[in-house]
Amino acid sequence: MRRFPLAATLVITLLSAVALPARAAPDCGIHWGSLPRSNPLYSGRQVLLDARAGRHRCFERLVVELGPDRPGPQGVTPGFHVGYVPRLHADGSGRPVALKGGAVLQVIVHARAYDQDTGRPTLPVSRAGDVAVPVGGAFRTLRQIKYAGTFEGQTTFGLGVRARLPFRAFRLPGPGNRTRVVVDVAHRWRAAS
């Protein structure tokens, strides 16, 4: 077996490291666009229970969880409208809501965020209107998520996004008698082929 001096081994190792191509960002096959998405269904029997954010390899996600306001048979699960807007406005008052980021994605869920009998809020939010989600330095795309109010059976959230990026919106059944409205925002536009 032939041995190489330590210096020669280091040079070969360094050259092979330099010759390797830079690792590109993953092509996740995302074909989403940035135009509005909506599902017009409405059910007055659903209330918002929770909102949370998560990180994935190719996108970041907002999940809004809804449940029935009373036991018994439920009607149609709630719809939504999601789209980029120049500025977010609070439901009811119309006052501007400031968000961090280069673009604002408005998420309207066709359900209320309060108990109809007591008037108490059903969604945990801070006094500043921030949804209790860990959006921060670990997130690449989402900069901030704010609750912008509930009025006349609909609830609005604003997503402060790094830039206008592709997104998708859809509903998921469960767990149990709950429903989730999901908004995924891609980290980047798909590279041209």
Q: What percent of the chain has pLDDT over 70?
A: 72
| Count of C-beta atoms within a 10 Å radius of residue 90 | 17
Calculate the alpha carbon distances from 141 to 67, 84, 125, 145 in Å.
28, 14, 21, 11
Domain boundaries, the chain: 33-186
Mean pLDDT of the region 20-46: 74
The strand ranges marked E within 45-101 are 46-55, 59-68, 80-85, 88-89, 96-97
Characterise 120 by phi-psi region: left (phi > 0), alpha (psi -120 to 50), beta (else): beta
Element (H, E) at 39: strand 37-39
The H helix count followed by the E strand count for the chain is 1, 11
Nearby residues of 120 by Cβ (< 8 Å), 6 or more positions away:
114
| pLDDT on residue 137 | 64
| pLDDT on residue 79 | 87
pLDDT tens string 36-70: 999 887 666 788 888 888 889 999 999 999 988 66
| pLDDT on residue 153 | 85
CA dihedral 191, 34, 101, 192 (to 10 degrees): 10
Q: Which two tokens stand for residue 181?
A: 């409205």
Identify whether the C-beta of residue 121 lies closer than 8 Å to the C-beta of residue 113.
yes
Rounded mean pLDDT of the chain? 79
Fold of the domain built from segment(s) 33-186: Immunoglobulin-like (2.60.40)
166 phi, psi to nearest 5 deg: -65, 150
Higher model confidence: residue 158 or residue 74?
158
pLDDT tens string 115-145: 888 888 888 766 555 554 455 567 889 998 9
Q: What is the DSSP letter of 185?
A: E
